[in-house]
Structures are given as structure tokens and as C-alpha cells.
Structure 1
């Protein structure tokens, strides 16, 4: 891809999405959906490192280049560069793997090289249902067990459901954790995304001990949980931080249509279920009347209709493929591809589909130590994408 002096792609193509949208809703601004397509000029290749994982959900890159991976049913495994897969790592707390639950996203402590601490999200079974929880543990030196495991945070309220856990965790520059939670999908829990007394449908910011982080936007309010960072989210399964600006970006599932890419700002309301570019799976409209724009609620930077089904996401450093620098890569589930978005001035200016011919549901994507991308699929494959 060639860029002009201000970073905008010059060799653009028609939009990659050609299917009919679910709605006739109009975007709030030009380029909010169905942006022009772009194509990577740098030769690259993809290969399957292993196909022996069991419903993998999250990836973390260890300092020596090995990959620590969560599997939905409740196990951690390590994948070696030669594709060898370890035995299950013991010590993790029990998960509820029904529906969309299980062992979910994970991240390494910024000081992992010295303290070996790992943080992860999971659906915790409790009396009366389950909830998204966050735990931490120490990966043993022999990499066979998690020790000193503690559950440091539990989202509220508990609910007897099987959907929309969110489940990504990442560190910010201050050493605090961002955690995404879903609103649990059902009509009765949906409004909790707007309720500041509930931690469902939120991005949370907590310390390594699970306490509200200092400087959170609702810290001094009696009518809000102090751990909330942003609200009005449906099912956010992607969190990533821009390598240059430090901004937090998020991807979340809409219903039928209206999957979103958001730049998250402290204290902001991202609208669900009041505003949306999607409709119910039944085809019914959401809201009476349905609205897409409302004062005091944030617009997505970009949305998809039909859906991408966006899960794990990462910004790319440009270390291996320079033209990908500061592009965002998003694992698509039902869309069965990895979306590459070119970002300029916090707007999407180009979109490309990678590995679309593989027919896989891509659950997470991360950058490795040498500028390669690693992506996992629901079928158990681990892909490596790298410069030829």
C-alpha cells in the first residue's frame, strides 16, 4: 500500500464488504462503515504452527518467544516455536465453559520476566449462576502449573446465563489492568450496560489486586462503581493500546449488524442498548423508535453491517512489515477472516481481509517478538503470519 504525505492510502480499492447490510441506517459521518479497501504490497506468508489446540481463546507472548494460550474448557497450554504443545498447565480455578464462557483472555505482568505473574479472565461458576472474574497466578519455573492463584475481581451481578462475558484483560502504562465485561445478552440484563451500579457491559480499570485504580472517572461518585472506566458496551472481546498515542481501543459485538470499533475515553458512554447500528437476531428493530445517534453517547470509530464478529485485536508495531505500522488487526469469527484496518487521525481510512480463504473463526491475534502475527482459531489452529 502506498501513502501520500499525510499517511492516507493512495492506491485504494472498492470496499471489502459487498453483501447487503441488515439495515438502511445511515452512518453518522463519512468513513464510519464500508471504507475503501486496501491491499498489502509487502509479500507475506501464513502457516499453521499447530492444529492441536482445543478451542483456544487468548494468547500471550512469553519473553523467550513461546506462546501461553488459554483454552475455553479451562486449561492453559504453551506452544513452542516448533509447534509442540505442552500438557495442560495445572492450578487454574474451575470455569463454567457452557455457551460463550470458559477460560478467556490473559495477559502477562509487565514485570513477568522477574515475577512470572499471569492475569486472566474467566467465567466463574457460583451459586445462582456465573460471572466474569479476573484471577492472577504465578507460572512455575518448569511451566507446568499456576501457583499462588487468587481471584482478584468478580463482576456483578451474578447471572444464570451463558452469553456475553467480554473477557479481555490488558495492562495500561501505569501497571493497572483494563478488563472488558459483557452485558450477558438477555433483555433483562441488557439495561445494566447503562447502570453505573453494575459492572456488566463495561470497561473496568483495576489494580493488580483487583481494587479500583487511582484516577478512575467515577471514583468520587456515590452512585457509581469506582472501578468503571467506560460503559454502554454490549460484548467487548477486543482490547488493545495504540503503541504511539497510548489510547485504549476496543472491539465489541453488535447484534445483527453494528459490530463496533471504539476508541475508549475515561467516563464516556458508548451507547448500548440505547443506540446501535444493528437489529435483533429476529429482525426486529432495537428501540422504539430505533436510534443511532444520541447526545452524550459516543459514536463508534467504525462499524460493520453485516457483522465481523470481532474478537481479539492488536495494534501492529511495523517491526516486520513496515506498511502495517500502527494498523489494527482484528480476529473475525463468523466473518472468518482477520480484518486489517488502516488508522489515521483516529479514523479508519482503509480495510483489508487477511486469511479469508482459510474459512476459520479467528479468536485472537497478537504480535510476536520478531514482527510476526500469531492468530488462533476456534477449530484449534495457531497461525503465524510473517514477511516472506
Structure 2
């Protein structure tokens, strides 16, 4: 227990010493507003605007001018507590096939699961929708679905999955898909080169509730953020086959203050690149690669639901450096995306709007 307290104190002290102002003058402008609990954003090619999901089950097209058009054909979702419609990502060949992927909670209070569907976007309608993957086992309640997706260069799809809150021990069981990062083909099959023959979809395990996921295109490095309990939110660099510890090791405690585990590290379990005590409730994650705001280039941008802000994390050195928060936000930050023009789109869940961060005028 004493070692745990010392390590937590060192983390907080180190964060204070490493925190630095990393932001030049910025401008924040509203792209669109009036959404009901927006969750995810995908930028369309050729200046065609954006797709925005709403957790209760809405999918919308937003033009560059901020005009909102609802899209029909969205699957029914289980939209209670943390459940609902989550991520939307474009097929790597979207310009040719108009295919998108949706991650969402499906089922009922007594039996639900994180699910992936594939569909073709035709104007304001989804057609040819098919469910390609359903997480097993089913679970009860409305907690910890994960629900972020990202494509690798080989065309396989990553899906983050929470451990269901009440089934946290499943995160350490490879036969369960709860508390995992899963990897599948675009048709929902298990790739032959996944790391576990006895758990064909599991790419990494020991995760709590991962809600930020990004692939660095040139290096194919996978970065993921996940919610800790009370303290212990994590930023992890994901390697195939590795165990990231939950709930056997953690820098957080239960919401009641009870100890979940006396250990913060253990043999065979990975350490986070950085972690947050107290929690910021990590959500959307982006990698900034543009020259438009050079002070951010190469940094990861992490949204916080509880902290209601965005921070930049420099992972280029031996220690992760966490910036001061971007100024100007008031609500829970659900998603963060770098746009093609070098600006940054941010979803403010509480305000029901999408805003753009860009470099301030000289």
C-alpha cells in the first residue's frame, strides 16, 4: 500500500514538473450544433463535410458550411446509460465504394453487446447494411462498451471493447472478448496472423474501457486511451499479444475508495505510456501530423470528459510530456480529430456541438 501511494505521488509530481504550455494562439469556431449527445466524427474526402454520430442513435451529414442532414437506415441501438451509437469510420477505399462502419451497443438491458455494422452511404441513406461482428459474451447493464475503431494499412479493422464494468475479470480471460482490442477483416473474420490461436480475434487484452484509438499511418503504431476507475486513466502504445494489466494492476481505486488491486505493476503486464491521477476520463484521441500548428506536430491530442478539455501529449522522448489544457472549452469532450486542412475538430458532448480549433491570426 505504501509503495502504491509513493508511486501515485511521484506520478502527480512528475506531471506537474513535465506540464508545459504548448499552445500558440488558437481560434475556436463552431462547425455545427444542435446534436443530441454527439459521440464521433469522420471527415469525408473532397471537402464533402463530416459524418457525426449521436449516442441515442442518430447519424448526420454536416456540410462544410455547417448544414445538418439526417441519414436514415441506421441500425437500432441499445441507448441506455453508456450504451448507444458510438464510432463511425470510413472504409479505406471510401471514395470508390462509399462504405462506412458503425460501432454501437445492440440488445437489451439483460443481454447486450458491442457490435460492428457495415453499410453503403448513398446520399442521406444507408443501404446494404449488415452486421459483421458481435462481441461475445453478452452482458447485462449499460456500462463499458468501448466502441472505437481504426483501420491498419493491411485493411484489417481494430475495435476497442470495454469489459462491461461488472465483468472486469474478463479483461484477463482471453476466451472472453470483453476488455480487449480486437482485430478483424472488413467482413468480420479473424485474420490468420492475430497473436492467439485460441482467441482468434484478440489483439491485446487487459483493458478496462478504451474510448480513444488511433493508428500512426507511417509507422502503424497503435495508440489507445482507456478509462481508469477513480484515477488511473491510461495512454497505451499497443503491441500485438500484450497484456495491459486491468484489473490485476492499476493506478486507480474503486469509486467507493476500495482497493481494486494492491499492485501497479507485475511481470508480463505492460505499463502505460502515461496515466492520470485524478482521472480526466479520457475519450477521443488524435495524432497531429500537420504543419499548420507546428507546436503540435507529432503530438497526441487527448480529450477529457471529466476534465472538459483537450491536452497534447508529447511521446517523442523517454517520458511523456503532457501540455496544459487548450483554453476555451466548457463541456465534456467526447471526440478529437485532426482534419485534412490541419485544423482540429472537437466534439463537445454537453453543448451538443462540433467545434474547430485552428491557428490564431497573427
Is the 1:46–1:385 contact (alpha carbons within 8 Å) kept by the matching residues of 2? yes
Aligned to 2:205: 231
- Partner of 1:191: helix, strand, or coil? helix
2:331 to 360, 371, 375: 360
Aligned to 2:257: 283
- Partner of 1:99: helix, strand, or coil? coil
**CA distance in structure 1 between the partners assigned to 2:349 and 2:67 by the alignment:** 18
- How many residues align structurally? 354
- After TM superposition, the score normalised by the length of structure 2 is 0.94
- Runs of 4 or more above 6 Å deviation: 28-32
**CA distance in structure 2 between the partners assigned to 1:366 and 1:350 by the alignment:** 18
- Partner of 2:5: helix, strand, or coil? coil
Aligned to 1:272: 246
Superposition map of 1:109-120 within 5 A: 109-120=91-102
Aligned to 1:13: none
User: Offset of 1:226 from its aligned partner?
Assistant: 0.4
Superposition map of 1:1-388 within 5 A: 24-26=5-7, 33-34=15-16, 36-40=18-22, 42-65=24-47, 66-86=49-69, 88-125=70-107, 128-140=110-122, 142=123, 144-186=124-166, 189-218=167-196, 220=197, 224-287=198-261, 290-345=262-317, 347-355=319-327, 357-379=328-350, 380-388=352-360
- Partner of 1:193: helix, strand, or coil? helix
Structure 1: gaps of 5 or more residues: 1-22
- Partner of 1:363: helix, strand, or coil? strand
- Partner of 2:68: helix, strand, or coil? coil
**CA distance in structure 1 between the partners assigned to 2:23 and 2:311 by the alignment:** 16
Deviates more, 1:258-267 or 1:35-44: 35-44
User: Offset of 1:128 from its aligned partner?
Assistant: 4.3
Q: CA 1:247/1:232 → structure 2, altered by over 3 Å: closer, same or farther?
A: same
User: Offset of 1:161 from its aligned partner?
Assistant: 1.2
User: Offset of 1:42 from its aligned partner?
Assistant: 3.3
Q: CA 1:175/1:279 → structure 2, altered by over 3 Å: closer, same or farther?
A: same
**CA distance in structure 1 between the partners assigned to 2:216 and 2:15 by the alignment:** 21
CA deviations over 1:329-387 (Å, ceiling 9, x no partner): 111101100111112147413422113x4321000010111000001121211110011
Q: CA 1:346/1:102 → structure 2, altered by over 3 Å: closer, same or farther?
A: farther
Structure 2: gaps of 5 or more residues: none
**CA distance in structure 2 between the partners assigned to 1:35 and 1:175 by the alignment:** 41
User: Offset of 1:184 from its aligned partner?
Assistant: 0.5
Is the 1:118–1:139 contact (alpha carbons within 8 Å) kept by the matching residues of 2? yes
**CA distance in structure 2 between the partners assigned to 1:67 and 1:381 by the alignment:** 13
Q: CA 1:215/1:340 → structure 2, altered by over 3 Å: closer, same or farther?
A: same
User: Offset of 1:77 from its aligned partner?
Assistant: 0.3
Is the 1:121–1:134 contact (alpha carbons within 8 Å) kept by the matching residues of 2? yes
**CA distance in structure 2 between the partners assigned to 1:34 and 1:284 by the alignment:** 26
**CA distance in structure 2 between the partners assigned to 1:34 and 1:242 by the alignment:** 28
- Partner of 2:61: helix, strand, or coil? strand
Is the 1:35–1:348 contact (alpha carbons within 8 Å) kept by the matching residues of 2? no
- After TM superposition, the score normalised by the length of structure 1 is 0.87
Is the 2:109–2:141 contact (alpha carbons within 8 Å) kept by the matching residues of 1? no
- Partner of 1:358: helix, strand, or coil? coil
